[in-house]
Amino acid sequence: MTTVTMRGACLAHDDTGAVAQLHGLGIQQFDGTYYAYGENKVNGNLFQGVACYTSDDLAHWHNAGIVLAPRAEGLLAADTIAERPKVLRCPSAGEYVMYIHAERGDYNYAHVAVAVADNPLGPFRFLFSMQPFGNISRDIGVFQDDDGAGYLISEDREHGTHIYRLSDDYHSVVEDVVCLRGTNYRYGYESPTIVKHDGLYYWFGSQLTGWDCNDNMFATAADLHGPWSEWKAFTPAGSRTFDSQCDLVLPLPDGQFLYVGDRWQPKDLGNSPTLWLPIRIGGGQALLEWHDEWTYER
Ligand code: GAL
C-alpha cells in the first residue's frame, strides 16, 4: 500500500515543470494507468489541441503531449473552440474513441465531434461531428457501464441534458435514454458526469453560469432511464461547490471517490486551478468535503 497525498485546490504541474493543462478534463484508467485528457488553454480559449497526461496515482502527471492536434481548417482548427474531451475504450473494437464539444468561433454551432485512435496516447483522428438525433449538444460527459455499454451525456439547453446510449462501435448514438431538467430549474445541468456505486447511478452537473461557479447538483437512479431523484446540492448551499465546476467523479480504491472540478480564471484560463477533493457517496447521498490536503491509500 502506498499513501498518496492530494492537495484540495492546486495548479497541478507535470513532470516537465509546466502547469498541466487538465482543464475540462476526462480521466480513464486503461490497463492500470490513469490517462487524463484536458483542454490546453495556455493561450486562451481557442483550440490548442487536447493534452494528455498519464499517472499511477492521480497526484503526479507525466506529460504525454498533444493527442488531438488542431486541424488545418474547419472544425477543431485553431480558430475554433473545443471543450471537455472525454475518451472511452470501445470493448468491441478495442479502439479509443474521443468525444469533444466542438464549436466554431462562438458557442452557436453546438456539435459533438468524434475522433479515434488505436492507442490511448493517440494520435486521435477526427472522424465527424454531429448533433445527436438533431439535438443541440454543448457540454458533454461520457459513462461506461459494467456491461461495456457506452453513453454520451450532452446538454441541450431548455430541453434538458440527455443521456444517449452509444452504438457497439461507439461511433454513433442509438438511443435517447433520458432527458432531464434540473429540479425547479428550466435547463438541464451542464459539465455532466455519472458514476455508479452499489447499483445506483449518481449524475452530477452544474448550473449554466458560464465561467462563474454555482452550487452544483446531483441526482440518483437505479436505472439510467429513471426514475431519477430530485436534484440536490452536495456542498453547503452558497459555497458554489467550493468555487468549482464539476468535471468528474472517479472511484478510488476502498470505496472512496475523487471529485475533480475547475476553478475557472476567464482572463487566464491556462492557469485555472483544479480541485481534487474526496467526495463521499452512498445510500443515494453525496457529500463533497473541503481539505487543504488529504490522503488515500493505493
Ligand atoms: C461553461 C462550460 C465551459 C465553457 C464555459 C464558457 O458553461 O461549462 O465548458 O464552455 O461555459 O463560457
Dump pLDDT digits (tens) for 130-147: 999 999 999 999 999 999
**What residue owns the CA closest to ligand 1's atom 4?**
210
> Is the pLDDT score of 9 beyond 90?
no
What letter would DSSP give residue 153? E
Residue 262 Cβ < 6 Å to ligand 1: no
Which of 105 and 45 is assigned the larger pLDDT?
A: 45
Closest CA to 101 of 146, 47, 57, 20: 47
* Secondary structure letter of residue 58 according to DSSP: S
* 210 Cβ below 6 A of ligand 1: yes
Q: Is the CB of 103 under 6 A from ligand 1?
A: no
Confidence bin at 189 (pLDDT 50/70/90): very high
Asked whether 83 lines ligand 1 (CB < 6 A), one says yes
From 41, 104, 139, the mutation candidate for ligand 1 (largest count of ligand atoms within 8 A of CB) is 139
Say what the pLDDT of residue 265 is.
Answer: 97
Q: How many CA atoms lie within 13 A of 88 on its CB side?
A: 24
* pLDDT confidence tier of residue 228, bands split at 50, 70 and 90: very high
Atom number of ligand 1 nearest to Cα 209: 7
CATH number at residue 259: 2.115.10.20
Per-residue pLDDT at 254 exceeds 90: no
Residue 233 has what pLDDT?
Answer: 98
Query: Does the C-beta of 190 come closer than 6 Å to ligand 1?
Result: yes
pLDDT tens readout for residues 68-121: 999 999 999 999 999 999 999 999 999 999 999 999 989 999 999 999 999 999
In this prediction, residues 17-22 reach a mean pLDDT of: 96
96 C-alpha to ligand 1 centroid (Å) = 25
More confident residue, 253 or 216: 216
Q: What are the pLDDT digits (tens) for 141-188?
A: 999 999 999 999 999 999 999 999 999 999 999 999 999 999 999 999
Residue 239 belongs to domain spanning: 3-297
Q: What is the pLDDT of residue 141?
A: 98
* Total domains in the fold of the chain: 1
List C-alpha distances in Å: 109 to 85, 87, 106, 176, 182.
17, 22, 8, 21, 24
Pocket test for ligand 1, best of 111, 190, 240, 269 (most atoms within 8 A of CB): 190
Question: How would residue 10 be classed by pLDDT, with cut points 50, 70 and 90?
Answer: confident
Whole-structure pTM value: 0.97
Q: Is the pLDDT of residue 22 over 90?
A: yes
Ligand 1 center from residue 208 Cα (angstroms): 8
Nearest protein Cα to ligand 1, atom 7: 210
